[in-house]
């Protein structure tokens, strides 16, 4: 099964193609350019590198959030456009679950962390490949309290890596290699493959939706204005 996956939920943008468990192409850009500029060219370059066209893809996968509201929307919109009228399935993958695949094989706690600003993180806890919590939006201090319950090595991954490492003081936190700290479309693809085999979170182009754990800044400001105006 050929899977094309994209991730634009954080600062880096990534596109990858796998065939079963074989990586055919993987490209990541972390240069500060907007995802609206970089994501489609990454997909086109990945297809070219894999010597495939878009009709060769069996399953499309997108990191559907949580994460940057703009990045999530760009990824969802692009994957819908790529699949339009193709009658191909889409795997909408949790960005946190996909990040946990960066640490596949690590025998301990894999803790994806994405910086949600205001000293908060999007996070979840995985142990030996098994999900231990739902996706959460919590203060970093609360995450530290949760991790104290696990007397086992812990690794962080995601764009909140430095925030977590500098804020959480636990003796069994171990360093994650730099390459494994970034969002990876390969991890999205592998997570999507697993979901597809379990018939979980598979959608059509009209069904796939973003995963948000809180209102956007614009929505929060609108709600504040409504409160102020009574």
pLDDT at 32: 77
Residue with token string 């960005």: 95
Q: Is 63 helix (H, G, I), strand (E, B) or coil?
A: strand
Give the tokens for residue 117.
């600003």
Q: What is the pLDDT of residue 31?
A: 85
Stretch 179-183: mean pLDDT: 94
Q: Please tell me the distance from the alpha carbon of residue 214 to that of residue 230, in angstroms, as a whole number.
A: 22
pLDDT greater than 80 at residue 229: no
Q: How far apart are CA 79 and CA 60, in angstroms?
A: 7
Domains contained in the chain, CATH given: 2-95+183-226 (3.30.420.40), 96-180 (3.30.420.200)
Tokens standing for 69? 């509201």
In this predicted structure, what is the pLDDT of residue 33? 78
Query: Is the pLDDT assigned to residue 222 strictly greater than 80?
Result: no
For residue 226, what pLDDT band results from cuts at 50, 70 and 90? very low
Chain centroid to Cα 226, Å, comes to 33
Strand residue runs (E) in 71-228: 90-93, 109-115, 120-123, 126-127, 130-131, 136-139, 154-157, 202-203
CA distance between the termini of the chain: 55
pLDDT digits (tens, 9 = 90+) for 28-62: 999 877 899 999 999 999 999 999 999 999 999 99
pTM of the model: 0.91
pLDDT at residue 225, rounded to an integer? 47
On whether the CB atoms of residues 158 and 112 are closer than 8 A, the answer is yes
| H or E element, residue 61 | strand 59-63
């Amino acid at each position: 099964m050929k899977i094309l996956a994209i991730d634009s939920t954080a600062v880096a943008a990534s596109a990858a193609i796998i065939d079963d468990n074989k990586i055919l192409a993987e490209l990541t850009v972390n240069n500060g350019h907007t995802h609206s500029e970089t994501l489609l060219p990454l997909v086109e370059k990945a297809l070219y590198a894999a010597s495939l066209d878009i009709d060769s893809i069996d399953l499309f996968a997108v990191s559907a959030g949580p994460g940057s509201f703009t990045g999530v929307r760009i990824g969802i919109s692009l994957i819908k456009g790529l699949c339009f009228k193709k009658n191909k399935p889409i795997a909408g993958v949790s960005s946190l679950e996909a990040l946990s695949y960066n640490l596949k094989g690590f025998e301990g706690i894999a803790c994806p962390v994405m910086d949600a600003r205001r000293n908060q993180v999007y996070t979840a806890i995985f142990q030996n490949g098994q999900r231990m919590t739902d996706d959460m939006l919590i203060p970093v201090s609360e995450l530290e309290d949760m991790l104290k319950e696990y007397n086992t090595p812990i690794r962080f991954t995601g764009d909140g890596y430095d925030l977590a490492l500098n804020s959480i003081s636990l003796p069994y936190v171990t360093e994650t290699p730099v390459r494994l700290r970034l969002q990876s479309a390969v991890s999205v693809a592998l997570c999507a493959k697993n979901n597809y085999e379990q018939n979980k979170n598979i959608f059509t182009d009209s069904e796939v939706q973003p995963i948000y754990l809180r209102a956007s800044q614009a929505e929060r400001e609108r709600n504040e204005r409504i409160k102020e105006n009574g």
